[in-house]
Amino acid sequence: MSIDVCKAAMEGTIVAANFAETRLERAIKDYGPDKEIAYPDTGYELPVISGLEGTKVSKIGELPAILNKYKKYITHDYTFENAKQAGELTAVAAEIIEALKYVDGEDPYEDEVYTGFISDVVLRELGVPLVDGTIPGIAIIMGKARTSEEAAELVTDLQGKGILTILNDQVIEQLIEEDIKIGLDYLTVPLGHFTQIIHVVNFAVRAAFAFGGEERGDAEAVLTYIRDRIKAFILALGEPDEVRIAAHFVANHLGLPIITDQEDVEEIEDWYVVETDYEEAVQLGIELRDIHIEIVDIPVPITVGPAFEGEQIRSGDMYVEFGGQRTPAFELVKKADKEDVEDGKVELVGPDIDEVEEGGQLPLGIMIEIYGRDMEEDFEPVFERRVHDYCNYGEGLWHMGQRDINWIRISKEAEAEGFTIGGIGEIIYAKLKSEYPSIIDRLQVTLYTDEDKVNEMLEEVARPRYQKRDDRLKDLTDESVDTFYDCLLCQSFAPDHVCIVTPDRVGLCGAVSWLDAKAAYEIDPAGANQPIELDDPIDEHKGQWEAVNDRQRKESAGKIEEVNIYSMLEAPMTSCGCFEAIMAMVPELNGIMIVNREFDGGTPVGMTFSTLAGTVGGGNQTPGFMGIGKTYITSDKFIRADGGLGRLIWMPKELKESMEDELNSRAEELGLGENFVDKIADETVGETTEEIMPFLEEKGHPALDMDPLM
């Protein structure tokens, strides 16, 4: 007899609700109703409850009433719609069960492989790759595959496609058994078992807050956002019980289809589907959620995909390394004439990996020559920066830096699989050709490992080319161009956000410069980057143009009427959620602070990065607060209308030190004196205005003598 999944889902909901009620009663008895409850590292309380019900829960005594409220969805009318609606009760019950594990303030999974709750920092780290298509979609695997070998093949397939894979239940142990690399670095996230699946739901709800700008408690708007904009599907493996089926219907309620390998269930077309072949199941999920994947056959013996972009190769795991100040190295993209480029040619000049002892080093020069009828020299650094991404896509490859400070490692595992230095060139060729077909007609890669040749190419070709570009970029300012570009990549998550990219202001994500946007438009004239032909400015000092305002109104559906590109106080640019850092005014100190997403401590405005991001993101225009790309801080146009760099009074120590030379140089140009960085407070000075003010006074910070900020 086949399983009536709707009936099973309703019965599972009742079990989950009763279990949550029991756990809650015990917690209130043990801790008292006033015991505080919260997930760690989030500004969204208990996100599922906050999103669906609207209550900002802070104490466990507030939870029984909320749980009872959702019991209204229990019914014996086992329709698909009723089973989906009951998913809200299942989700709330699971959120309560999981949140209670954190009530002691400790990570309940600290000593385990499971991640449990996914922090806001991770949510935002994944923001850019999810919205720009680097991560094309999400697969959530629940249960247990038929065999560990099949589980490994399934996940390796997903990793190769670059899909973010979230794991729950026994499949995690199956992958560990097969030595499959899991963890955030591999875009393969092991949540845990049973109710830990709720952490993918509260991840999705926070995405609606952070990127979509949806309001807490507006359940329909939150659910609509998830259904329309988060491209995900569920692979339900192994024989399910009623509670797992109830969890499946939580996914259905969120708009996500279930694909099961069990034949004895009653199918619901496009929503609860049987497919026993795992490869076909993945393809079906991709089709049902309209996920677009660009597959390129690359002739290398390792898996290549964004899943491996965060992989680290420590010295003990390394077979050979190049550059990193240990050996001479460089990477250069160079526009070339048609007759000088043999398309697809990958040549190695010098010794290969088999001539190096394990743990050894070699020089490496990567010369990429491109011919294209529409190729321009301005595109060279755009393509060059992609080398970093492509190398890191290779399982067993690791890349840092660029130009002549690059650093590459090949792992022992990759070498054992037969990977050679030429494979680096094969990956670069395949990825550049597939991603930029309208510009690149011919491409060849030459890899130099002969030290004399590397040094010769460095001095005679690479460094002169770098200098030529730098000289060109120095002259590229907002005044020197008649066109800006918009960027709508993040509208898949933040529908009202419009990024304006100018020579003096990089995109908020830090990944899209004016040249990048220009190149993207050349590549795809109908794509996410469109030109804005400038007219006479309405206000040159604030950075306001009617053409920019027109584009803002059009692309934000009329929500944003005007924007000042050089101000954070008056009609500032909107923020998506993928920004590298956030600026916030600190009126008591007559200045501004900047906090980057990597910093998880407190700030002078009393909010962490995550909490600030919840206010600033989602396409909102919030005067006094603004998301930015970090290079904008040293721009000639940095909040010019509000006083510029002299207003900067606080930033995290690590960020400050990483930008020290650029900040000091820019400050001297502005007449702010030498060693301006020494006048900027950080967390070692304090996190409150009372702690920071004496430091600023002692250092003679220029902000204290400027006109009032407000």
* More confidently predicted of 311 and 601: 601
CA 384 to CA 432: how far, in whole Å? 10
Domain boundary among 229, 254, 288: 288
pTM given for the model: 0.71
Whether residue 574 is contained in a domain is answered as: yes
CB 43 within 8 Å of CB 120: yes
Q: What is the CATH number of the domain that holds 57?
A: 3.40.50.2030
Task: Work out whether the CA dihedral 211, 213, 215, 220 comes out positive or negative.
Answer: negative
Q: What is the CATH number of the domain that holds 482?
A: 3.40.1470.10
Structure tokens at 705: 């003598």
Task: Say whether both 539 and 568 belong to one domain.
Answer: yes
Predicted local confidence at residue 1, as pLDDT: 44
Whether residue 117 is contained in a domain is answered as: yes
Alpha helices in 487-587 (DSSP H): 514-523, 546-555
Q: Indicate if the pLDDT at residue 260 is higher than 90.
A: yes
Across-strand partners of 320?
360, 410
CA 409 to CA 155: how far, in whole Å? 25
Give Cβ neighbours of residue 578 (< 8 Å, ≥ 6 apart): 124, 127, 128, 131, 211, 490, 493, 508, 509, 627
Task: Say whether both 36 and 159 belong to one domain.
Answer: yes
Structure tokens at 626: 């603004």
CA 441 to CA 247: how far, in whole Å? 49
- At residue 492 the predicted structure's pLDDT band, cuts being 50, 70 and 90, is low
Query: Which residue do the tokens 């500004």 mark?
Result: 43
CB 231 within 8 Å of CB 285: no
Average pLDDT for residues 590-616, to the nearest whole number?
A: 90
- At residue 489 the predicted structure's pLDDT band, cuts being 50, 70 and 90, is confident
Average pLDDT for residues 212-228, to the nearest whole number?
A: 89
Task: Say whether both 82 and 172 belong to one domain.
Answer: yes
Predicted local confidence at residue 528, as pLDDT: 82
Whether residue 298 is contained in a domain is answered as: no
Task: Say whether both 482 and 452 belong to one domain.
Answer: no
Domain count of the fold of the chain? 3
Average pLDDT for residues 452-467, to the nearest whole number?
A: 92
Q: Indicate if the pLDDT at residue 296 is higher than 70.
A: no
* More confidently predicted of 351 and 402: 351
Structural domain harbouring 76: 5-288
Q: Indicate if the pLDDT at residue 451 is higher than 90.
A: yes
Query: Which residue do the tokens 């019900």 mark?
Result: 53
CA 373 to CA 363: how far, in whole Å? 33
CB 277 within 8 Å of CB 133: no
Average pLDDT for residues 133-154, to the nearest whole number?
A: 93
Amino acid at the residue 443: L
Task: Work out whether the CA dihedral 611, 308, 295, 380 comes out positive or negative.
Answer: positive
Task: Say whether both 241 and 331 belong to one domain.
Answer: no
Q: Indicate if the pLDDT at residue 400 is higher than 90.
A: no
Task: Say whether both 610 and 672 belong to one domain.
Answer: yes
Whether residue 300 is contained in a domain is answered as: no
DSSP category for residue 500? E
Domain boundary among 411, 445, 474: 474
Alpha helices in 32-184 (DSSP H): 47-52, 63-70, 80-100, 120-125, 127-131, 148-160, 171-177
CA 129 to CA 106: how far, in whole Å? 30
364-387 pLDDT per residue, tens: 999 999 998 888 888 888 788 788
Structure tokens at 269: 């077309």
Q: 8-12, 254-258, 312-316, 368-372: lowest mean pLDDT where?
A: 312-316
CA 664 to CA 676: how far, in whole Å? 5
Whether residue 505 is contained in a domain is answered as: yes
Across-strand partners of 483?
533
Work out whether strand 407-411 and strand 483-487 pair parallel, antiparallel, or are unpaired: unpaired
Q: What is the mean pLDDT of the chain?
A: 91
Domain boundary among 439, 454, 474: 474
Sheet with 442-448, strands from edge to edge, namely: 329-335, 364-371, 442-448, 346-349
CA 333 to CA 593: how far, in whole Å? 38
Predicted local confidence at residue 347, as pLDDT: 96
